[in-house]
Amino acid sequence: MCSMGDIIMVTLLLPFLFSTSNAQGMMWDKLELRKWRQTERSGKRAYNSLAEQQSTGPTEWTSWFNIDHPGGNGDYERLEAIRYYYRERVCARPVAMEARTSDWVAATDTGEVVHASLDKGFWCVNKEQPGGRTCSNYHVRFQCPPVNAYWTDWAAWGSCSATACDDVGIQVRKRKCVTTQPTPLLMLTPACQGHHIERRECSTPPCQASWGPWSEWGSCSASCGGGRRTRRRSCIRDADTVWCEGRHVEVQKCGKKPCPVACQRVCPEGRPSEDCSRCVCEGHLLHGEVLSATGVPVPGARVALADHPQLVRARTNGEGLFKIPGACSGSKTLLLISKEKFAPVSITPTSNNSSKTSWVRVVLKSSEKPYIVKHPEEKVRYEGQNAVLCCKAAGSPKPEKYQWYHNGSLLDWKQYKYEEDLVLKDLRVKQSGQYYCKAVSQTGSIKSTTASLTVMAKGTPACKSTPEPHLVKLPFDCRQPETDSIFYNAGRCPNNKCAGALDYDMRCRDDSGYCCSVKTMETRRINCGRYSLPIKVVTECACQSCLEPKVLVRGRVVAVDDDEPLRFGHIVMGKERVGTTGFQGGFTLQVSPGTERMVVNFVDPTQKFIDTVKVFIFDKKGGSVYHDVKVMRKVEPVDIDAGETNTIYLGEMKGEDPIGQLVIPPNSFHKSSGEVYEGTVKASVTFIDPRNITTAAAAPGDLNFIGDEGDTLPLRTYGMFSVDFRDDANQEVLGAGAVQVLLDTEHVKMQEHIPAMKLWSLNPDTGIWEEESQFSYTKATAGGGGRSKREERTFLIGNMEIRERRLFNLDVPESRRCFVKVRAYMSDKFLPTEQLKGVVISLINLEPKAGFSSNPRAWGRFDSVITGQNGACLPAFCDAIVPDAYTAYITAIMGGEELDAAPSTPKMNPNIIGVSQPYLDKLDYQRSDHTDPALKKTALRINLAKPDPNNLDETNGPIYPFSSMIACENAPVEANHFRFFRVEKDKYEYNVVPFEENDLTTWTGDYLSWWPNPQEFRACYIKVKIHGATEVMVRSRNLGGTHQQTRGQLYGIRDIRSTRDTSAANTSAACLEFKCGGMLFDQAEVDRSLISVLPQANCRRTSTNGLLQEYLIKHPPVLQNNESHAFSMLAPVDPLGHNYGIYTVTDQNPRVAKEIAIGRCFDGTSDGFSREMKADAGVALTFSCPKRAVTRESLFQRLQTNPAQTLSQMARDMRESDGLQVRRGDSRVVAFPPGQQGRPQTRRSSNRRRAAVRTRPRK
């Protein structure tokens, strides 16, 4: 509390009071007035914007008012509230106000910030007070004129005098003069000054005309055979000068029902039925049998006539049989057989006239939900041009209709008249956007991928001629002084599509695409101090024909348990066999243009492995993506008796209970002919157990299904199983009907999944899971596996029929989804400029077992995404309540090489992992070697905790809500993300013609291009062995050698640090890339590149591979190699192997070619692969690089001991070396004269050469 002594005593009276006859108010002297004005200017202890009204004539003060106490937010003496309580005590317009505290201190003397207004009153706010003070308790009073005559408030404006529409008139408003004393009769001057009436101009609204409601439809002019009826409406208008647009009468067809006529049906046999809908053959009986594709009878199938499909004539019994009496058997009798989950079949029965019976046998195949086989493609057009977007779906039955959407809104069929194709003519800019189609059939619907249509206004350039910035990294010793960096802007073109000059714009796929690509380049020299580098810089972009590189999917198919290859396995796409795996399980598939989803089925003809369906991702920008395909080994078959009830357990693991059971009733097996099989059955049931994470890679498909609206949605699996039943005698495949599947509910740790559990089967043609049946509760006795005794358990039971060789799944749909941000880098430095594109990132969702978060009970979905320029976003299941309700394993593979994840031991470093605290702790990040250093480092495990939008720490990645996909894809590199990196030594690559190896569309045709052919990339490596205690950087300088256009010109530079051989002391080796010899981009002449191998240390060449040396001698011209510190050669044209120390690989993707070549080089073989350097195998060159002994003082030491002499010596050295421009490592092409090829050089000339080298300045 403040004492009275702390309060400044100043009387405040607002506004200034000038009273001529009243002494109630208090006059300010000049000193007080000055003090108030200063306070007002300071804005600290003054009223806010009080408008002063000067009082003239006699005035009087009201009594003091205090209606509020300074509690809560402050003290408020509102004039409105005072009038409410003391209506007659305050005049309508006070001319002044005074405020004092309850201690009778004037407001300006309190030091408090207060506010006043003659319209609103007085108030003081606690939070505005300095030093945390609270407002005092104030009293206020007001000054009013004792005798008043005043105007009342103006009344509202009256109506406009004009009444017609769109006219001008006058509006009037008035006020009254109010006096408090009687007015003298002879008073000539008015009591109030001013006018009591005001006028203004007004106008009426414009004239309008609108239709009234439609009347009811009139009666139809005909009751059958077609008539018409009408309805009318009236035009309601303000004037005769306006009219309503449209018709006042509408006509509608009616009475469409046909008028009764005599039956016109002509029956080849029998007579017409009473309703004339069919032909009836008295005494004739139609027999039928309906079987599945595996010969199992189909009960409950509906039998109808094709022209009356809604009228069911019969249903099949439990044995798949039906009878229809009175049915005719002529050629015009067409039966329609249908049942849920089967494709309907139309068939004509065969007749037997002698017995008056007919017989029909129908085989129903499983129905298929529609799937897209042709997706709409991206188009770019100018305004006024045309475009057609095409979509086609297949399925059984075929789709009935198509719907097209633009930016998510259904297009009006009446306007566009679309079917499979959407035709857009005379395009407008507003029609730009995203388009997709939706195909609908009896079994469901499916949506295509979206295609963007860009419509540009006429005259708008589709390609900016000015290149975009593109920084090329220079060698570490080539720092540019202008930018103080080792990057140089070489420019690039965006490669976006152009409209181009189309000869015909109504194709589904444009015949020749146009892209914004390089038009002109110029050669520049980059000054690096003691040397210079040439570079080709983009100077102009223009629309030109697009480069369309091949898109390939490569890989290897091996067993999940021991990597045994699937040799000569059949590769099936759709229903067509497209290839065979190799002896080592390898395969290469070309992706057709327009493909959006690539589904491949690997079938083992030897029946050693189960059929495995894979959905492959690929890079649309070209090249190949490598996939390591794992397949499950088929379980050895057991003998069961077809005449007994058989139980087969699913998921038998040591120490664990089975997840479920297959229960097969007696006599359930059938041959393909429909005959019931009796005898011994060879039964093989292979279960992919989600509790065993090692089998996750072998899971087929991508665990997606199609929802009711055609959207692709994820599933969560509790196990998959493949069944194979065969005749013991002849190995014929058997079908089985009425098989029960029991799932033990104790294995479903997320209870909300139990009601949603379903049985699914995988469609091998589409890779999509399709629903087989629902589950219901039952009680059954369980045991075996890890149980010591049998007991009654609660099971989910579902019924299925094994109709085809499909994979079955115990799954639940899952809606709690998120995205996970992952990036891949060239090294563990995690530089933003060294991100890798084309890396396949895979995520496997897991459900943890209670108390053991690393032991999953069920997988979620399997997703793979290829990293782009901004990393990758992978869909995953997540939970906002329980952080570890879902976990995931994430891996990264590039060209068959597994990348390492950021380490989690020995210390959790957020800067290395890429995720900030405290969110990192919540995600419980662990690399795969977190608890066991002996394990591989190529996977990471995380909790999928959905981010809390109210927690700022969780709104910046690496996990994003499913609705924030765009935020995930566009997240800056500084945002949280998970990291993978290549375990690779320091390396550097420089191309004179810039090219991004992970985006083949950036290739430019130039004689100095490192890769001369964008359709085929040949990678060449030479293995260099280093003897020395330290690892050494090795460089290759690659010049044009024999081609007249490139001779002596630089192609590029490659630097790589040697890798230590852990099995040999003081030994390392480097796999060094060099420019391959061969045709250049014009395919006119071969160039054998001039290669110089230069270790960047004190090294001496001690040996050269004899076979390589012999090859170079036999293929002249031969280079002189008199310099012991380097090695030069003309690049071999032939693909030499490990015996020469040269490793050559050709592929449609440059990175894949390099990865394979490096793996072979590390292994020292021509067909192997290793990531551990074997320095003694397959070596081309050997250098000895000992540490240089320190025999003299360093420059710094000499400057300290004798600075004058040292500086003088430095000046002399500089003068002597002035003008010396000979560079170390220069090589010449020497053609041997006849008879002298391979002649050894004399020792004398060699020594002279060495002496010359010693005088050259070191690089």
Residue 808: the pLDDT is: 65
DSSP-derived secondary structure letter, 430: G
DSSP-assigned letters across all residues of 662-709? EEE-TT-EE-TTSPBP-SEEEEEEEEE-TT-GGGGGG--S-SEEE-TT
788 within 8 A of 838, measured Cβ to Cβ: no
> How many Cβ atoms are within 10 Å of 998's Cβ, its own excluded?
22
| Residues recorded for the chain | 1259
Residue 1256: the pLDDT is: 39
Cis (ω within 30 of 0) for the bond into 299? no
Whole-angstrom distance, CA of residue 433 vs CA of residue 415: 18
Quickly list H helices, 119-173.
none
Could you give the maximum distance between any two Cα atoms of the chain, in Å? 149
405 within 8 A of 438, measured Cβ to Cβ: yes
Residues 6+ away with beta carbon under 8 Å from 962: 817, 818, 819, 875
Q: What is the pLDDT of residues 281-316, one digit of tens each?
A: 888 888 888 888 777 888 889 998 887 888 888 999
DSSP-assigned letters across all residues of 244-287? --S-SEEEEEE--SPPP-------SSSEE-TTSSSEEEEEEEEE
Residue 494: the pLDDT is: 84
Buried b (16+ CB within 10 A) or exposed e, 262-286: eeeeebebbeeeeeeebbbbeebbb
Residue 1051: the pLDDT is: 92
Whole-angstrom distance, CA of residue 1006 vs CA of residue 785: 67
* Joined tokens for residue 680: 């011994």
Whole-angstrom distance, CA of residue 1078 vs CA of residue 1133: 6
Residues 6+ away with beta carbon under 8 Å from 1054: 987, 988, 989, 990, 1035, 1036, 1038, 1072, 1073, 1074
Whole-angstrom distance, CA of residue 448 vs CA of residue 437: 5
Tell me the CA distances in angstroms from 125 to 74, 130, 480, one per residue in order: 5, 11, 62
Whole-angstrom distance, CA of residue 370 vs CA of residue 153: 75
Residue position matching structure tokens 């008539």: 227
Q: Is this structure's pTM higher than 0.85?
A: no
Alpha carbons within 13 angstroms on the beta-carbon side of residue 634 total 22
1092 within 8 A of 1037, measured Cβ to Cβ: yes
Residues of the chain with pLDDT under 50: 1-56, 186-187, 784-793, 849-856, 1219-1259
- 3-state SS assignment for residue 115: strand
Residue 1162: the pLDDT is: 92
Q: What are phi and psi of 643, to 5 degrees?
A: -90, 5
Query: Which stretches does DSSP call E strand in 912-1049?
Result: 926-927, 939-943, 959-961, 978-981, 987-991, 1017-1027, 1033-1039
Residue 480: the pLDDT is: 87
Q: What are phi and psi of 882, to 5 degrees?
A: -105, 115
Whole-angstrom distance, CA of residue 650 vs CA of residue 720: 9
698 within 8 A of 628, measured Cβ to Cβ: no
Q: What is the amino acid identity at position 487?
A: F
Query: Which stretches does DSSP call E strand in 1050-1178?
Result: 1050-1057, 1059-1060, 1067-1074, 1078-1079, 1086-1087, 1090-1095, 1100-1104, 1118-1119, 1127-1130, 1142-1147
Whole-angstrom distance, CA of residue 9 vs CA of residue 14: 16
Residues 6+ away with beta carbon under 8 Å from 842: 862, 863, 864, 890, 891, 892, 893
